Structure 1
């Protein structure tokens, strides 16, 4: 644009910039606290929020789901043992696998031989078995194949009965035991988290804040406890206590908090040398108040994050112990004990393993995603 055209622009389009002393340094956007920034970052993380809702749903189901049907945890009946999943409405969709039938492929010298094996496998209930010949064969060994579908609910006179995820080897309802087992696993996990918060934070905070001989003595104790494997402690507890929740909680109480104590100690050593702690000491603030009011809030982010990662670790620890027979023992149920039973029947009744394995995987993945989301939320570098 040349100077001639510029001179033709109406002067009314231009307004002078007036700078006032009271508004020249005014902040136009609202200020937010660190907690508000962390909350906004967490809410913006869709996967973390979805995982939180999933965990809330699982926790609610572990409380209310066992009352959805009339079968209790100890309601045994061998006549209905190893019943496959059957769900109303979904039973009409065959590919979902909730139609209450057992299926298998059997081989024989010919189709007749393979059919006899299938019928023998399913309690000789020939009237309730559908046979589909897949391969007629030529008479050689194992050359014929048939697919058998066993309508076990009709065979046992349970046409109007529904076991949503089947029954176990003693005829107990898997739906009830699955959610009761989830409740037990979550209780152990949250107890481990509380132990970390109460013992680990207090121990690490005192050790890091006082330093000197106090820190030296306390850290030597931690090193001794860290050197004792959890499995050894569990075995010792079994000599004194019966296998179950109490022995697992005692083992976690003895050594489970040491990791949190070390992390808190390191953070306290870093924070206690800052100016606001020195100012509090200069004003005569008691040490306990400094730890509670100044140090712990400033390291709350790392405490929350590590607590969230402690929970899936405790769930896996309980599942491992129950799987090898050192944790929750029958008739009590946990996700680990249910997986152990399902593993023993994997080839013939895979549904006994599938549902508890899926649920424990979802819980552990969800907690880890929430932990990652909290780590990003409490990282100032992630705030925009």
Structure 2
């Protein structure tokens, strides 16, 4: 009774009828997004992957313009300035950064005088340019005394006005120039090898899975034979037939490198070829080549892109490994592998020859892997929100 009484007390002016339209409930408030738009949106939300894209872009840019950023050209070689440490303007005033153009090491001896003499002999007897700091006085026993020597090599060689941003190598060539040239070579080898693997692997795997039957059996037996051949054996054979260099490495990488892509594409095509849209295309008389190219490959593009992104760092590492063991690029040609090999040989006395190319190749490989992780998440429908 109270509710009815309250309803009667509400003024009729406040009761405004709602106008309802038939198509209101069916109206779409915003345009729908395609799968690729969702993938792009998810990828751009991954800040770490975007940061890695920027880093790789900068590295690629420096690999192009880096060798020409100073006055030391590719052929600028002088043994008198061999193994010079990094020397950078402005940064030379900050000693702890290590870009002040000095060589530092610790020397031991029976006493301070003996340890100091060892340091002087190590640094070409340039007493006037060596600073000695005593770390341990010693007690007269063998190697009980220890000193830290700082050798001002640029002043000793009357080169205080010259700057080698990342130092020089064993032949006096500018490391900055050679590192970026080596990065360019390594990236070219990896990208070309990955592109060839992409083309061959997608075509081979797609044809094998789509036609199936005897064609699939024969093509898969060929893959099994190639898998059984070690990559190192292929590399050695390539070097015997061809001259060591970029071409032989690319050929060696692509002889068996496409197998992984072919297997992945085959598995995906086997899942898709019995779908309704493929049967509809066959019914309409679409050629098999067009079905593979226009219908199947676009539907597995995400897997292809992700696998390619993981293939590139693998190719970079494989090239560096081959050059490191002497089966890849041959000095004086520069690549990250040859630079790391040179640095490894001089690690004890000149660690900067190894540190900079090792850091660079590590950054490149980590960046590619993180971008691959970002793309994997982007092409996963479960990650879309």
Which TM-score tier does this pair reach, normalised by the shorter chain?
over 0.9
Q: Distance in 2 between matches of 1:278 and 1:241?
A: 47
Shift of 1:9: 7.2
Q: RMSD over aligned Cα, in angstroms?
A: 1.7
Corresponding residue for residue 64 of structure 2: 63
Shift of 1:28: 2.1
The 5 Å alignment of 1:106-145 reads: 106-145=107-146
The 5 Å alignment of 1:70-89 reads: 70-89=71-90
CA displacement, residues 182-202 of structure 1 (integer Å, 9 cap, x when unaligned): 011001110111112211111
Shift of 1:244: 1.2
The normalised TM-score by structure 1 is 0.96
Summarize the Cα distance change of 1:4–1:163 in structure 2 as closer, same or farther, 3 Å threshold.
Answer: farther
Summarize the Cα distance change of 1:256–1:15 in structure 2 as closer, same or farther, 3 Å threshold.
Answer: farther
Q: Distance in 1 between matches of 2:276 and 2:354?
A: 56
Shift of 1:23: 1.9
Corresponding residue for residue 316 of structure 1: 317
Structure 2, unaligned stretches of length 5 or more? none
Q: Distance in 1 between matches of 2:335 and 2:6?
A: 82
The normalised TM-score by structure 2 is 0.96
Is the contact made by 1:130 and 1:149 (CA closer than 8 Å) also made in structure 2? yes
- SS at structure 2 position matched to 1:41: helix
Shift of 1:268: 0.7
CA displacement, residues 20-62 of structure 1 (integer Å, 9 cap, x when unaligned): 2222222223310111101100100000000001001101100
Corresponding residue for residue 219 of structure 1: 220
Q: Does 1:243 align with 2:244?
A: yes
Corresponding residue for residue 373 of structure 2: 372
- SS at structure 1 position matched to 2:131: strand
Summarize the Cα distance change of 1:209–1:129 in structure 2 as closer, same or farther, 3 Å threshold.
Answer: same
Summarize the Cα distance change of 1:124–1:276 in structure 2 as closer, same or farther, 3 Å threshold.
Answer: same
CA displacement, residues 167-223 of structure 1 (integer Å, 9 cap, x when unaligned): 111111110110011011001110111112211111111111111111111111111
CA displacement, residues 302-329 of structure 1 (integer Å, 9 cap, x when unaligned): 0000000000000010011011100011
- SS at structure 2 position matched to 1:57: helix
Structure 1, unaligned stretches of length 5 or more? none
Summarize the Cα distance change of 1:325–1:102 in structure 2 as closer, same or farther, 3 Å threshold.
Answer: same
Corresponding residue for residue 167 of structure 1: 168
Corresponding residue for residue 32 of structure 2: 31
Is the contact made by 1:308 and 1:370 (CA closer than 8 Å) also made in structure 2? yes
Aligned length: 383
- SS at structure 1 position matched to 2:347: coil
The 5 Å alignment of 1:1-384 reads: 16-384=17-385
- SS at structure 2 position matched to 1:147: strand
Q: Distance in 1 between matches of 2:272 and 2:72?
A: 55
Q: Distance in 2 between matches of 1:11 and 1:270?
A: 65
- SS at structure 1 position matched to 2:367: helix
Shift of 1:5: 11
Summarize the Cα distance change of 1:350–1:12 in structure 2 as closer, same or farther, 3 Å threshold.
Answer: farther
- SS at structure 2 position matched to 1:100: coil
Shift of 1:341: 0.8
Shift of 1:140: 2.2
Is the contact made by 1:74 and 1:331 (CA closer than 8 Å) also made in structure 2? no
Q: Distance in 2 between matches of 1:78 and 1:20?
A: 87
Shift of 1:75: 2.3
Shift of 1:239: 1.1
CA displacement, residues 87-127 of structure 1 (integer Å, 9 cap, x when unaligned): 00000000000000001111111111111100000010111
Q: Distance in 2 between matches of 1:61 and 1:285?
A: 47
Summarize the Cα distance change of 1:14–1:340 in structure 2 as closer, same or farther, 3 Å threshold.
Answer: farther
